[in-house]
Structure 1
């Protein structure tokens, strides 16, 4: 699969997740076999006004590439300027626009999925970004505001006409959020409507789900979000399953080493105090289903240092072996 002239070595994309897909998380997922990782959703206006917190979200490392950087906004000028800034920064391999976020505060700005009701403005934004950068250019969309998927097809055709090189499609409506089921039939419909690659997204919980989506819809790749939070190994498992029809399960020791590396990455990126606060929630994802998980989560709420975290992980691992 190619996105413009960028060859993608695999079929897995990490979905952008606000507050989750930061640099250390992306590095971990990349190490687990993900073909393309994506930044958190980043405000174009924040980049335009050089807001420190926003610019920090653009930090990257060579070992996570290829990297897709996702921006959102409703002002064509700011979106174009943000794309030019990212282009000149030199760390992104793909620029992506969010047309799918259904969070209320984003919709109130006229951004995210709100733009699917305003194709004229969407076209201006697409043109501004395409004019600003020669980088591979993608968009992420939903079904729109009604379940028919008509708005998705309309926007996809506009996007293709404006030089977008691939589309990630989550076939749920704006109102659904993450509720209900993703309508994979709409992915198949969108794939037939455009000539550029389509990346399917929604309800991929297992490697078999990914295989089913690829075969049933004809999409070119799959995008995984929430499932990767608890099981980053799902990315390599999907790649294995697509090629071989089977996949390996991680050993407990592999899971614990990932917990340790994520801890170290968070401390390096966020600093000790912030990292420890964030890790209370993050590490709990990894141990679901293990005996003693509830006690581990309870102790996480009291952790005060990264050394304490590492000690907890190793004690938990030793307890399983006993």
Structure 2
């Protein structure tokens, strides 16, 4: 068992990374239903919360079926971040997470996200202010450092633990790398193996298959992993990782029925969250990934993205099941290569 404060998670938990414009309640609920153990909101600006920006307040919406769930905040002012944590606390998440990892220029130039990596003392003060402001466990997501010459994650981990965080997730790249190149998990392993560190350490970066997840678990010894982009359109990855760890083999890929069922679930929750117009519009970006491998996918997507009512969309999805219910969607060559290259068994 892995514990974050009073939150109990299974051995080697699978976390869903907070992703802007992705990690809303519908996506989080879909991931939880398919095996994820802990999810996070999109990152929320402390200034936006305090100033009552509609977009920021909307991100505080939580569903019971997605628990445990953390609200992720970012900001560069101690008092404002602490106040934002108190506002978030009212919505009763299971934890508060601080983003010290977002590399986007617009965030960094405001002295927030990965911009704080250049000032460890400020990072410590921000974290301490947040810990002192809430009754909830506080965790941090960050990177190895600002650039190749300043990979200070080992110092950062100790100092943040000392001011009270209950877990640390480390993305295996520097800010200057953005999302390019291969994530370096060796420094994550050094943090985990530091005898002074007693909080859970989670690794993040480049996990896109069950085989790679288990390989990295065995190689680097982290307490769990956080998965981001690979889960978009493929929430079954969490169940596949658990099945592979238990059975030593990959389960069959999701069937047409599985894919349509997730489409319906995601659509329903989007409509509940954003209403019939915005919900249907937002769902259009998801059909291609959820239905990947389906014969004549372009034609089906073209139909789905033109429909304007839930009834019409559900009718087309039901037609897909009727027409292709026995069709077996095979894993791609890239997925199979990835599996064989990373198979640890």
Q: TM-score range by the shorter chain?
A: over 0.9
Deviates more, 1:188-197 or 1:108-117: 188-197
Contact 1:149 1:186 in 2 (8 A): no
Instruction: Let me know the Cα RMSD of the aligned residues.
Output: 1.6
Q: Structure 1 residues 215 and 310, CA, compared in 2 at 3 Å: closer, same or farther?
A: same
| 1:201 shift after superposition | 0.8
| 1:247 shift after superposition | 4.1
TM-score, normalised with respect to structure 2:
0.89
TM-score, normalised with respect to structure 1:
0.95
Contact 1:207 1:241 in 2 (8 A): yes
- Alignment map for 1:59-74 (pairs within 5 Å): 59-74=61-76
Aligned to 1:124: 125
Q: Structure 1 residues 177 and 273, CA, compared in 2 at 3 Å: closer, same or farther?
A: same
| 1:18 shift after superposition | 0.6
Structure 1 counterpart SS, 2:317: helix
Task: Please list every run of 5 or more consecutive structure 1 residues that lacks an aligned counterpart in the other structure.
Answer: none
- Alignment map for 1:219-234 (pairs within 5 Å): 219-234=222-237
Q: Structure 1 residues 321 and 244, CA, compared in 2 at 3 Å: closer, same or farther?
A: closer
Matching of residue 160 in structure 1 with residue 161 in structure 2: yes
Structure 2 counterpart SS, 1:81: helix
Deviates more, 1:14-23 or 1:146-155: 146-155
Decide which of 297, 301, 313 is 2:301's aligned counterpart: 297
Mapped to 1, the partners of 2:94 and 2:224 lie a distance apart of: 17
Aligned to 2:341: none
Mapped to 2, the partners of 1:300 and 1:102 lie a distance apart of: 34
Aligned to 2:103: 102
Aligned to 2:28: 26
Contact 1:116 1:155 in 2 (8 A): no
Summarize deviations over 1:154-181 as a string: whole Å, max 9, x none: 2212211111111111111212222211
| 1:33 shift after superposition | 1.4
Moved over 4 A (4+): none
Mapped to 2, the partners of 1:299 and 1:22 lie a distance apart of: 25
Mapped to 1, the partners of 2:96 and 2:49 lie a distance apart of: 14
Structure 2 counterpart SS, 1:128: helix
Mapped to 1, the partners of 2:123 and 2:154 lie a distance apart of: 13
Deviates more, 1:188-197 or 1:117-126: 188-197
